[in-house]
């Protein structure tokens, strides 16, 4: 187990040289810890926010404690055990006299850090290092450390921060993990019981209830992959210590192996090494995050799945644990196999009945694509108001993007590294995402308490006739308006390459303004109707709900029958054909209005608008094509396969007709009422299909 295995506190005997990846990890830890062997521990009185000196110093100190403990375990060199002792002695002198942190920025203050979450992280990390050296310390040394550091920190979590400790939330996962792991190491059963079953001991809170409620049956974490990454470490390392000290619990089998499923789900919720930036996500976070590196090693040590070794190779390093050493050894032995990234649906909600995320993959190699359809529940406080939105990846990068969070993590000059005001005024708002917006407001009026109880209804996830299809319905987000959306990736011989079809319908009882944004990466090229650019001055598109941050750069009238537009991103071209009856205007926008502190990235979007409309209907075809080589000054394959699209509706049925550059047509039928046998007659021809969708000629 990580820092708490059967070998804990027993220095490694002479062993063969470590595998290359682990040797690199070991050498890095030696180099990292070396300066601290020559100086007195620096344990300052806390005063700074994230990114500030005292904040970063205390983070470094828990890293030193853990790494020095592991260095002792792997080398047997007493100086590393002494370093762990000395740093913890310094905390034993500091911690008992600390008051709550002076920064007024968190609902639950910490002592070492500005929020109690970071104190819990400190405890999880430090107890792992202490576990490795505890047995070689004198009883007096152990008493000094435990009485003045670990026991008071556990009391702070369970008493002063009881509200956080009892939550069903990733902050609570760190809290219960730190307390529970400490309980095992210092032999305090009351801590373990509180961590597992909650402070009342009734199982309504605590670690097991968190496993029950925070993950869906498919291993999807309700706050999204960014926070799944963050929560995985305490889930997995605490599970490791449970398995070591109480193997009868079979914690890795609990809830159908949920803590194993969760690791695979997180890997699957990525593209080219980066997590899908759903909800409050930092867009650059990916599979090389330390939390997943450690969690992967823990799971691999149990199931020996060679697919995980290829992920570890892509991570470029291994965990500094015994499990990490095993991963490195098996990679060196040539046991890796490629990870099987495939299309799949990750249901949301503890019972899997609160919507989900559909991941549709297509293509291979440098042209591998992924379409991510978000039709989840709200995702609690970190959730965005973006249901029925999608992201599209092509050629190893985002083509249709999600902004993620407005935050510069641990950059003190940007609000101490915390979430910026623009996270509320822009990033969470519906217009910031690729989803239908009604009356220039956000879903549920951007009220998380109103949104949290309302699930999204996932309708269909299936593949047939060369079409990968996902659909869902959203009720109550905009009062009486109901919204349906289907996305599909079509790979058929007549097309020559995959295309994405997006079908949106909304039904209301009164007139509304509907806006459908598409946030694209790249440079606008052209459109079938001319946009009138704002060349002498820019104005925001609106005044609130995110609209105040969008510069209106150009506007076009949309003719009956839709429009085509295209853009260019590095070496790829993108074409968007759409037919949206009732849409009368299109806008080109750029993010950055009403942003005096320059906190927002200058992202681009095209927005379709239907005014004074009871209902909304739209179909679009997105196609990636071409290959631009600036070195060779060449462009290849520059014509899209699809030249037009038409939408015909008949009650609950939609018929989509694609016109191809060959002159052929391709028709796909979609039904929304659940009927098995469906048909639409158009231009004297009856087209039939079975089920939710089908190719009809």
Q: Annotated active-site positions, please?
A: 227, 382
Output the DSSP codes for 649-686: EETTEEEEEEEETTS-EEEEEEESS--SEEEEEETTEE
Q: Beta partners for 275?
A: 270
Q: What is the largest CA-CA distance in the chain?
A: 92
Q: Is 370 exposed, middle or buried (0-12, 13-18, 19+ CB in 10 A)?
A: buried
Helix axes 322-332, 20-33, angle to 10 degrees: 140
CA 216 to chain centre: 15
Paired tokens of 118: 């970071």
Give which of 586, 624, 133, 121 is closest to 362, Cα–Cα: 624
Cβ neighbours of residue 424 closer than 8 Å, sequence gap 6 or more? 446
Contact 682, 646 (CB under 8 A): no
Length of the chain (residues) = 697
In contact, 558 and 580? CB cutoff 8 Å? yes
Instruction: Name the DSSP letter for residue 64.
Output: H
Residue carrying structure tokens 């015909």: 648
Do the Cβ atoms of 663 and 642 come closer than 8 Å? no
User: Per residue, what are the HEC states of 578-616?
Assistant: EECCCCCEEEEEEECCCCCCCCCCCCEEEEEEEEEEEEE
Burial of residue 37, with CB atoms counted within 10 A of its CB: 0-12 exposed, 13-18 middle, 19 or more buried: middle
Q: Is 281 helix (H, G, I), strand (E, B) or coil?
A: coil
H or E, element range at 620: strand 604-625
- The 3-state DSSP class for residue 483 equals strand
Q: Residue 368 forms beta bridges with which residues?
A: none
CA angle 684, 501, 471 (to 5 degrees): 95
Please give the DSSP secondary-structure letter assigned to residue 461.
Answer: E
- Name the residue among 141, 122, 231, 240 with its Cα closest to residue 186: 141
Say if residues 483 and 506 touch (Cβ distance below 8 Å).
yes
DSSP code at position 146: I
């Amino acid at each position: 187990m990580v820092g708490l295995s059967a070998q804990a506190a027993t220095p490694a005997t002479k062993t063969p040289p470590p595998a290359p990846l682990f040797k690199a990890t070991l050498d890095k830890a030696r180099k990292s810890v070396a300066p601290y062997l020559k100086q007195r521990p620096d344990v300052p009185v806390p005063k700074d926010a994230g990114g500030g000196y005292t904040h970063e110093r205390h983070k470094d100190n828990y890293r030193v404690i853990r790494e020095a403990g592991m260095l002792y375990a792997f080398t047997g060199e007493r100086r590393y055990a002494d370093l762990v002792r000395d740093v913890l002695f310094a905390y034993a002198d500091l911690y008992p006299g600390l008051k709550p942190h002076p920064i007024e920025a968190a609902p639950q203050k910490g002592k070492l850090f500005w929020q109690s979450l970071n104190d819990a992280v400190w405890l999880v990390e430090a107890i792992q290092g202490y576990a490795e050296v505890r047995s070689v310390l004198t009883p007096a040394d152990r008493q000094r450390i435990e009485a003045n550091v670990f026991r008071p920190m556990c009391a702070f979590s369970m008493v002063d921060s009881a509200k956080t400790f009892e939550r069903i939330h990733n902050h609570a996962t760190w809290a219960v993990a730190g307390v529970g792991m400490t309980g095992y190491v210092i032999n305090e059963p009351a801590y373990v019981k509180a961590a597992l079953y909650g402070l009342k001991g009734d199982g309504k809170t605590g670690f097991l209830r968190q496993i029950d409620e925070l993950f869906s049956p498919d291993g999807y974490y309700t706050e999204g992959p960014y926070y799944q990454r963050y929560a995985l470490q305490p889930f997995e390392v605490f599970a490791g210590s449970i398995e070591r000290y109480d193997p009868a619990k079979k914690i890795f089998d609990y809830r159908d192996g949920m803590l194993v499923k969760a690791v695979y789900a997180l890997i699957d919720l990525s593209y080219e090494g980066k997590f899908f930036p759903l909800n409050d996500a930092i867009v650059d976070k990916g599979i090389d995050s330390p939390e997943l590196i450690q969690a992967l090693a823990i799971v691999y040590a149990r199931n020996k799945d060679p697919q995980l070794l290829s992920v570890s190779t892509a991570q470029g390093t291994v965990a500094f644990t015994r499990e990490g050493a095993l991963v490195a050894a098996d990679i060196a032995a040539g046991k890796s196999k490629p990870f099987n990234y495939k299309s799949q649906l990750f249901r949301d909600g503890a019972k899997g009945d609160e919507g989900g995320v559909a991941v549709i993959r297509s293509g291979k190699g440098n042209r591998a694509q992924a379409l991510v359809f978000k039709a989840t529940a709200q995702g609690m406080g970190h959730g965005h108001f973006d249901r029925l939105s999608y992201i599209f990846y092509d050629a190893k990068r985002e083509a249709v993007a999600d902004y993620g969070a407005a935050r510069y993590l641990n950059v003190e000059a940007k609000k101490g590294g915390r979430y910026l005001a623009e996270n509320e005024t822009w990033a969470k708002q519906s217009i910031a995402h690729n989803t239908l917006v009604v009356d220039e407001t956000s879903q549920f009026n951007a009220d998380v308490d109103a949104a949290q109880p309302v699930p999204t209804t996932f309708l269909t996830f299936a593949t047939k006739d060369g079409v990968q299809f996902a659909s869902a319905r959203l009720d109550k987000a905009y009062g009486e308006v109901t919204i349906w959306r289907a996305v599909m990736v079509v790979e058929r011989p007549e097309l020559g390459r995959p295309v994405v079809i997006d079908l949106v319908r909304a039904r209301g009882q009164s007139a509304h303004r509907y806006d459908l944004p598409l946030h694209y990466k790249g440079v606008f090229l052209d459109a079938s109707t001319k946009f009138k650019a704002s060349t002498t001055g820019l104005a925001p598109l609106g005044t609130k709900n995110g609209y105040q941050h969008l510069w209106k750069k150009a506007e076009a009238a949309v003719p009956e029958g839709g429009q085509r537009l295209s853009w260019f991103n590095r070496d790829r071209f993108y074409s968007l054909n759409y037919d949206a009856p009732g849409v009368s205007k299109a806008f080109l926008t750029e993010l950055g209005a009403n942003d005096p502190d320059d906190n927002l990235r200058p992202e681009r979007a095209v927005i379709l608008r239907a005014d004074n409309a009871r209902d909304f209907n739209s179909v679009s075809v997105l196609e990636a094509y071409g290959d631009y080589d600036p070195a060779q000054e060449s462009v290849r394959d520059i014509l899209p396969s699809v030249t037009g699209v038409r939408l015909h509706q008949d009650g609950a049925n939609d018929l989509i007709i694609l016109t191809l550059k060959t002159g052929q047509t391709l028709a796909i039928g979609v039904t929304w009422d659940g009927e098995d046998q469906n048909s639409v007659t158009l231009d004297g021809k009856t087209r039939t299909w079975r089920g939710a969708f089908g190719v009809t000629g």
